[in-house]
Chains A and B, each alone.
Chain A
Amino acid sequence: MNRTALTAVLAALAVALAALATPLQAQQSFGTTIFFDYVFFLSDNGPLTSNDLNNQFSFRRAYFTYENRWGDLRFRFRYDADNTANVTSVNFAKSSTSTDGKLRPYMKHLYMQYDNLLPNSSIKVGMADTLTFKPAEDRWGFRSVAKTLMDNFRDVTGVSISATSADLGASLTGTMTKYFKYGVMVTNGIHYTSVEKDKYKQIMFQGTVVPLAGFSLVGYMDYEKLSQDEEAKTTKLDANFEMVKNLTVVFEWFAYDNDKSKLADGTHFDMQGWSLFGRYIVKPGKLTLFGRYDQYEPNTKVGDDKVGLVIAGFEWQPTDKAALKIQPNVWYYTYENPDKKNDVVAVMTFFWSF
């Protein structure tokens, strides 16, 4: 498996490099996207809202993207900064680290894309977006407000799924007919902020069936061997309803099975969840309403641990002249555990790109 994956990566890389062998006339573009929040707690006794970090501006992301295109060949570089401070020193004696309090920049995308090597297909080689979140993120459309289900609960549950929006590897995606799309990707499986630590690779498969115009089903699976005896698998299904003009409704379900997920007594547990979200474009380029309900279970072997989340809000673009968007939204967390009170948070998200 590993040899096949490596051969595929090298072959795709060779094709892309061969196309670069001569100087070409290129189309270049630069773009920047920024979003940040003003956060205000509407309740003050839940696990999230009982801390002191109320009434604050919170930086979320800044992307700088450079793209270069020569016919069917593209190159993309995206630099990303989030609100994690840089680690500047490590104190091994105290097992602690120091940070500089500044925003952490890192490389998110650095890949070459070659279109139509196979009919209606794209090959990407390098640090590229994975197949894991994209169909749901594209339809949710408000990454600036919240990540999608699988990627959104680490802060609340303290456990996270090993899944990423970008990784180093190679992917092939394409369209066979209007009824079927496919995707396959091989990556290090270690994500975009780390270097590879083992010999094992992650493989992802995605198939989209569109039986009716505006109704599609996206099936996704990934697999990675973690060690000689351990492996991790994700299964995900999205049902997308886009039959009514300007209305998108999506149901998403996932299950994550990692052999390393064990209770103190050695019992293996899974994670799973489902999400129902939608958006309605009241006026294109002006006003969009959005809403979502997630239910997330961080441990299938423990009772009373489910988390429910309602997000509701709207996006207002005050002017056509610039891509400035204001996205007021409210988050309402509920906990199955009766000892935990609900959290209610009001957020004003500011988004712009240029």
Chain B
Amino acid sequence: MNMKRVLIIGLLSGLLVAAAGSLFAQRAKMIQVKGSDTMVNLVQIMAEEYMDKNPGAMLAVLGGGSGTGISGLINQTCDLANSSREWKQSEIAQAWEKGVKPRIFVIAVDGLSVIVNAKNPVEKLTLAQLGAIYRGEVKNWKAVGGPDKKVSLYGRQSNSGTYVFMQEFVLGNRNYSTDMKEMNGNAQIIEGVIADEGSIGYVGVGYLYDEEGRIRKGLKIVPVAKDDKSPAFMPTDKAAVDSGDYPVARPLYQATNGKPGAAVAAFIRYEMSPEGQKVVEREGFFAISPKHIAENEKNLR
């Protein structure tokens, strides 16, 4: 074997050793959590409090949207996928093909909040009116009891679980208006609505409050009714969300690949615990029901 060949083989071996070495630099197992932007702050805070109480536990929480989290679980690049919508049939099929068997947990409930600029006098909206506004069928606030002003739509991008939930649940699976401004996240929608007097947006209830726990200045939450004959409720009304009277509420999910391992299961148990649910409520979401807890327990076994 000549010198050049020895050099090539030596170089290849050196690279393999370097690559292997970089793997073992980090020995402790980091739990990777990825997905919904609606959930990222909530899960991040729960993870920090959990790590404070459990030295040695390591969690990394990333956003990117529900679709990103779900594909991360399918491609096995994360241990927990956050999603603010149910899994689609095509995602379940893709997971099955790749040997991933998703188990779904509900960790909080979100009353999706409909927000307008604080100067907008509109008093309430029905689910049908909300759908018509976002489909672009209602273009002026006057048609739904508001001022003579053009409606300016703010929503999320299509990789967002919130986008999909609204489309299925409020728009009746029809397309959003082509005029809707598709924003990167809840915070951008809030900024847009505060700056635009004719605006309407939707955000997770946890994003409504400022650091002092008050509704952000310049925002107004619009009560929503199931139909013309029903009373309208606020998304901040826990009793109305729990009873289903507030019509735009949704569970927030986490998914694992099959039965979760001990470390992941311990974190999910913390999220479900009274302590974890206190964080859920403190961050503006709603605690899960006993039915959700029973389902979660079943999936942990």
Contact = CB atoms under 8 A, between A and B. Distances in A.
Do A and B come together as binding partners? yes
Q: Which of A22, A27, A71, A215 has most B Cβ within 10 Å? A: A71
A245 B76 contact: yes
Nearest to B13: A328
Contacts of B15: 314, 316, 326, 328
A42 B8 contact: yes
A208 interface: yes
Given A175-B90, A213-B100, A214-B98, A285 B8 contact: no
A340 interface: no
B243 interface: no
A284 interface: yes
Contacts, number: 102
Contacts of B92: 178
A70 B179 CA distance: 11
B96 A210 contact: yes
B200 to A, nearest CB: 15
Interface stretch (B18-26, B48-56, B105-113, B227-235): B18-26
A240 to B, nearest CB: 8
Contacts of B9: 346
Interface residues of A, number: 46
A326 B90 CA distance: 33
A286 interface: yes
A342 B87 CA distance: 51
Contacts of A66: none
Interface string A211-242: 00111100000000000000000000000101
Interface in A270-316: 281-287, 314, 316
Contact of B5 (A42, A210, A328): A42
Given A22-B178, A25-B182, A287 B20 contact: yes
Contacts of A326: 15
A242 B99 contact: yes
Q: Which of B93, B97, B179 has most A Cβ within 10 Å? A: B97
A213 B76 CA distance: 14
B98 A316 contact: no
Contacts of A101: none
Nearest to A216: B97
A175 B93 CA distance: 7
A60 interface: no
A120 interface: yes
B173 to A, nearest CB: 9
Q: Which of B4, B77, B95 has most A Cβ within 10 Å? A: B4
A175 B76 CA distance: 21
Contact of B158 (A27, A181, A282): A27
Interface in B65-108: 76-77, 88-90, 92-101
What are the 8 tightest A-B residue pairs by CB atom distance, in nearest-first order?
A: A214-B99, A316-B19, A178-B93, A178-B96, A24-B178, A175-B93, A242-B99, A243-B99
Interface of A: 22-25, 27, 40, 42, 55, 69-72, 119-120, 175, 177-179, 181, 208, 210, 213-216, 240, 242-246, 281-287, 314, 316, 318, 326, 328, 330, 346, 348
